[in-house]
């Protein structure tokens, strides 16, 4: 399973509403301990281990690392974390869809696990379970995502590498929205979602909710 999944962490946003770089936000050590323990439980069977982390990006990387050996950080800022590769977002600040489209040439895997860097409650065990379900996704489906009332949870789910053809065409035509792109594509719904782990941090108020 690990051989055909890579993880891409989107960390190129400008964090305007937060007022500071979200990727570098410190996180609650106790909450981090619980999440990293979950990541470690997924890693131990593979002979790996990760340490308790201190920032949101470090935690996201640790959870992603429990799912695949190939973890990429996609951003305009050169974050350098152990065992992760940085992909420069070029041009920067064009939005998550265009950033994602620009990274395909540097990734070799059948599936890409796409994660926003601002998901403080990611659960490695849930992601592992979803990975185990990828073999059941019809070949005609380009993504495996959690549905929501607006369409899909686009920044915490799986995309086939062969989705690039339709994505590149959509972006070349001026498209810049995941939802607009996916509405004309076949997407397989993840049947059991975990609402808490899809919560993201956008503004200072979110840190205390």
- Reported as half-sphere exposure (CB side, CA atoms, 13 A), residue 74 has a value of 31
109: nearest Cα among 18, 206, 7? 7
Tell me if residue 9 falls in helix, strand or coil.
Answer: strand
pLDDT tens for 118-154 read 888 889 999 999 999 999 999 999 999 999 998 999 9
CATH code of the region 2-208: 3.90.550.10
| Its pTM surpasses 0.85 | no
Q: pLDDT (tens digit, 9 = 90+) per residue, 26-68?
A: 776 444 445 445 444 544 444 444 444 578 888 888 899 989 9
Q: Mean pLDDT across the stretch 74-101? A: 85
Distance, in Å, from the CA atom of 170 to the CA atom of 158, rounded to the nearest integer, reads: 19
| pLDDT-based confidence at residue 24 (cuts at 50, 70, 90) | low
Provide the residue ranges of all domains of the chain, joining segments of one domain with +: 2-208
Checking if the pLDDT of 116 tops 80, the result is yes
Q: Give yes or no for a contact between 10 and 115, defined as CB atoms under 8 angstroms apart.
A: yes
- Does residue 50 or residue 89 have the better pLDDT? 89
Highest mean pLDDT among 6-20, 90-104, 178-192: 178-192
**Kindly report the CA angle at 111 between 194 and 171, in degrees rounded to 5?**
95
Residue 200: band (very low, low, confident or very high) from pLDDT cuts 50, 70, 90: confident
pLDDT of residue 156: 96
pLDDT of residue 14: 46
């Amino acid at each position: 399973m690990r051989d055909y999944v890579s993880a891409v962490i989107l960390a190129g946003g400008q964090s305007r509403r937060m007022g500071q770089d979200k990727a570098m936000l410190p996180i609650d050590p106790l909450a981090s301990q619980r999440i990293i323990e979950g990541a470690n439980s997924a890693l131990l069977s593979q002979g790996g281990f990760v340490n308790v982390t201190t920032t949101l990006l470090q935690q996201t990387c640790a959870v992603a690392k429990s799912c695949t050996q190939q973890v990429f950080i996609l951003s305009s800022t050169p974050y350098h974390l152990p065992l992760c590769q940085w992909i420069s977002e070029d041009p920067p600040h064009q939005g998550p869809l265009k950033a994602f489209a620009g990274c395909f040439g540097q990734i070799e895997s059948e599936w890409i696990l796409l994660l926003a860097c601002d998901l403080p409650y990611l659960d490695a065990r849930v992601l592992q379970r979803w990975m185990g379900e990828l073999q059941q996704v019809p070949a005609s489906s380009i993504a495996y995502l959690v549905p929501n009332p607006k369409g899909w949870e686009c920044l915490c789910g799986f995309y086939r590498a062969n989705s690039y053809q339709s994505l590149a065409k959509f972006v070349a035509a001026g498209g810049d929205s995941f939802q607009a792109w996916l509405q004309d594509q076949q997407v397989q719904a993840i049947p059991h979602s975990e609402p808490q782990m899809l919560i993201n941090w956008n503004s200072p108020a979110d840190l205390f909710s």
